[in-house]
Amino acid sequence: MERVNIERVTLHLAHPDELPLNWVGQEELINQVLSAWLVIDEDDLPLNPRLIGKPGVGKTTLAYAAAKRLGREVYLFQATIDTRPEDLLITPVISDEGKIKYMASPIVTAMIKGGVAIIDEANRMSEKSWASLAPLLDSRRYVESVAAGIKIKADKDFRISVTMNDDASTFELPEYINSRLQPQILIDFPEADEEKLILKKNLPFADDKILDYVVNFLQLAHKADERYTVRDGINIARYALKRMKGNRYDIVSSIKEAIKMILGEEALDYFI
């Protein structure tokens, strides 16, 4: 585990995340994220884009893909209702030798190494947790750890993005945080051709016919403003393929069963 010393405190850094995430289509969204992170003058600062959309539309994949376009290491932090300020920054733990070790969060590690931090499902966190990140998200670009008693400044190459579901959040964001998480980038459902490309990328072994059935189902559901996403489509196709393989079911029966078991019987209204 990599370590660094800051103000005589040794921090143990987190590992970067290497994930099999590939962004397909909607190139303009990648450009919007990269534009937010761009620095155009020595007095300029990067912005902190907020990616908003329904669960499963690819918000985390988009942020990850944009970071990889920059050639940076990526550090993911999964926010929850129980996230504490120290979870976001530095957590003291007892080592095997009985001494205190200071473990840097993925966010702090990205700050130190000039990587990209992604806070996933960020609107699950309380205001108390957000307050610890406030100076990082404005022109100060630092955090202060009470647990370790140190101030940590972000490397000039550090970038951050957050993802938020557009459903009812656990906590309302305070206005001083809202103003720091800009611009807001909306990720909507993809068009049919892009949706099929995503399915094909995730299920390269699937026959086009089964993918066409799933895409048609998803597109009808999108038009009816249902919250079914391409992630649901991947799960439907994957399970249907398994049923066809193991029980020699036909395509239609397998997909109908998969839709019913994954999304519920009411979802069959959109299967033709």
Helix (H, G, I), strand (E, B) or coil at 91: strand
Helix (H, G, I), strand (E, B) or coil at 208: helix
Query: How far is the C-alpha of 103 from the C-alpha of 219, rounded, in Å?
Result: 45
Tokens encoding 20: 């099999």
Q: Which DSSP string corresponds to 226-266?
A: ----HHHHHHHHHHHHHHHHHH---HHHHHHHHHHHHH-GG
Q: 3-186: which CATH topology?
A: Rossmann fold (3.40.50)
Residue 162 CB neighbours (<10 A): 27
All structural domains of the chain with their residue ranges: 3-186, 192-270
Tokens encoding 87: 């979870």
Q: Evaluate whether 75 touches 106 at the Cβ level (below 8 Å).
A: yes
pTM over 0.85: yes
Tokens encoding 125: 């966190």
Query: What tens-digit pLDDT sequence spans the chain (272 residues)?
Result: 799 999 999 999 999 999 887 788 788 999 999 999 999 999 999 999 999 998 888 899 999 999 999 999 999 999 999 999 999 999 999 877 778 999 999 999 999 999 999 999 999 999 999 999 999 999 999 999 998 899 999 999 999 999 998 776 677 888 999 999 999 999 988 889 999 999 998 999 999 999 999 999 999 999 998 989 999 999 999 999 999 886 777 899 999 999 999 999 999 999 98
